[in-house]
Amino acid sequence: MRIRGLHVQDVRCPTSRFLDGSDAVHGDPDYSAAYVTLEADGVCGHGMTFTIGRGTEVVCAAVRALAPLVLERELEEITADFAGFHRRLTNESQLRWLGPDKGVIHLATAAIVNALWDLWARRAGKPVWKLVADLTPREFVGLVDWRYLSDALSRDQALDLLCAREAGKAAREAELARDGYPAYVTSAGWLGYPEEKVRRLCGEAIAAGWTRFKTKVGVDVASDVRRCQVMRDELGWQRELMADANQVWDVPQAIEWLGHLAPFRLRWIEEPTSPDDVLGHAAIRRAVTPMGVATGEHCANKVLFKQLFQAGATDYCQVDACRLGGLNEVLAVLLLAAHFGVPVCPHAGGLGLCEYVQHVSWIDYVCVSASLADRSTEYAGHLHEHFVAPVRVEKGRYLTPETPGYSIELRPEALAAFSFPDGTEWRRA
């Protein structure tokens, strides 16, 4: 199956009009994507990288720069040595200068690599999680470029870990098919929402069966205390509450500030400081325990995750489906997290992230961690209507993805409306 076409589209939804997604540093996000379509002998594979508006055209330019490495290749040749192919993409001798393995070039890599996964899974007639679950442990470790990881986890150790999980895979698949995967909801607590809207959304989410909630903090202590109080008023003390600071604090400032939020029994504080600050997260974690520290949505690559685990810097691994170089690198992080005993609670929301990470959580439980303890996957209720096979959520749990592929194909109506700058929504604006 030869890859004969690669197209990339700049797609932007005007979410900033309603402050959906607003937080302490992203005041006006337009949930967007660099959307990649691969054409291969009559089948299309789709992948995207989530962005938040301006600059999506830069990621599209990076996708075009990487395209010659994919075009005219055989899918079977790529998947037969996917780790090797991944290395060629991330280590291209001139493009690697733009990263390496971080920022725009890595976001673009993710869109392409995830489109390859979509293509592979469609051809296999399986959802991506099931394609991975049906691989042998040896095939699984062959998906990962092990460079830079061996001081924390070797390929052989990972193989042993996966072999030990083989027993019970079928039972865990059946369990998820019956019960779904635990989720938490973010979309009640955006920073730009007025208090009444937050109260109403909490009430609606409780009525729908949600038990885990996240709010945004980081503006000033008084208003953060107020927001947590409002959430606790609505949720009571039995439901779980997390808070997300979106990188606003210095390390000493985070520690001082979080003292004021301690009474609200937050399960975790998310991104309390720079996402690059492994040692800073470790210092904050030591100071605020028993409050947990969570990070990962802006973690640039597997080497940063490795260090977060080595340094004991995080209680929760919030891996993102697009910021790393596609699913192959996410699998490396799942293995590292399992080795270090850190629960994976993927970052989601945005445009398409829920659609992606359901597969990640399924793979984590069925193949890698074999545990649901202290785990839940983020959910936000925006923009799912634009996908051909949107996530399904019931009573606070994701339901099993069943459609072949990586669930990220956009509906033609969405592309016609939100293509930037020529879509009907943008011409109208």
Determine if the peptide bond prior to 421 is cis (ω within 30°).
yes
Active site annotation includes 347: yes
298 binds its own copies (CB under 8 A): yes
Q: How far apart are CA 259 and CA 255, in angstroms?
A: 7
Distances (CA, A) of 359 to 37, 97, 339: 19, 31, 20
Size, binding site for its own copies by CB under 8 A = 62
What minimum distance in Å lies between the beta carbon of 149 and its own copies? Answer: 7
Q: Which of 130, 214, 216, 386 is catalytic?
A: 216
What minimum distance in Å lies between the beta carbon of 255 and its own copies? Answer: 9
Q: How far apart are CA 426 and CA 429, in angstroms?
A: 5
Select 206 or 317, whichever has its Cβ closest to its own copies: 317
The full DSSP string for 7-72 is EEEEEE--GGGGTTT--SS-SS---EEEEEEEEETTEEEEEEEEE-STTHHHHHHHHHHHGGGTTT
Q: Hunting for tokens 């599209």 — which residue is that?
A: 60
Active site annotation includes 130: no
Q: How far apart are CA 411 and CA 273, in angstroms?
A: 37
What minimum distance in Å lies between the beta carbon of 256 and its own copies? Answer: 11
**Which residue among 19, 44, 57, 370 contacts its own copies (CB under 8 A)?**
57
Residues 6+ apart with CB under 8 A from 29: 15, 16, 20, 21, 22, 52, 53
Site string for its own copies, 121-150 (x = CB under 8 A): --------------------------xxxx
Q: Which of 102, 214, 302, 347 is catalytic?
A: 347
238 binds its own copies (CB under 8 A): no
- Please name the helix (run of DSSP H) or strand (run of DSSP E) that holds residue 378, with its range, or none: strand 377-379
Q: Which two tokens stand for residue 422?
A: 């020529």
Distances (CA, A) of 334 to 135, 367, 374: 16, 10, 15
Q: How far apart are CA 157 and CA 135, in angstroms?
A: 17
**Which residue among 122, 126, 165, 306 contacts its own copies (CB under 8 A)?**
306
Select 282 or 393, whichever has its Cβ closest to its own copies: 282
**Which residue among 3, 104, 111, 317 contacts its own copies (CB under 8 A)?**
104
Q: Which of positions 15-54 make contact with its own copies (CB under 8 A)?
A: 25-30, 51-54
Select 311 or 415, whichever has its Cβ closest to its own copies: 311
Select 92 or 409, whichever has its Cβ closest to its own copies: 92
**Which residue among 44, 73, 103, 260 contacts its own copies (CB under 8 A)?**
103
Select 34 or 363, whichever has its Cβ closest to its own copies: 34
Q: Which stretch binds its own copies (CB under 8 A): 38-46, 122-130, 168-176, 305-313?
A: 305-313
183 binds its own copies (CB under 8 A): no
What minimum distance in Å lies between the beta carbon of 244 and its own copies? Answer: 15
Q: Which two tokens stand for residue 113?
A: 């690599």
Q: How far apart are CA 193 and CA 174, in angstroms?
A: 39
The full DSSP string for 149-176 is TTTT--HHHHHHHHHHTTTTHHHHHHHH
First to last CA, the chain: 42
351 binds its own copies (CB under 8 A): no
Residue numbers at the binding site for its own copies (CB under 8 A)? 25-30, 51-55, 57-59, 61-62, 65, 91-107, 147-151, 247, 250-253, 273-280, 283, 298, 300-301, 303-304, 306-307, 310-311
Catalytic residues: 216, 347
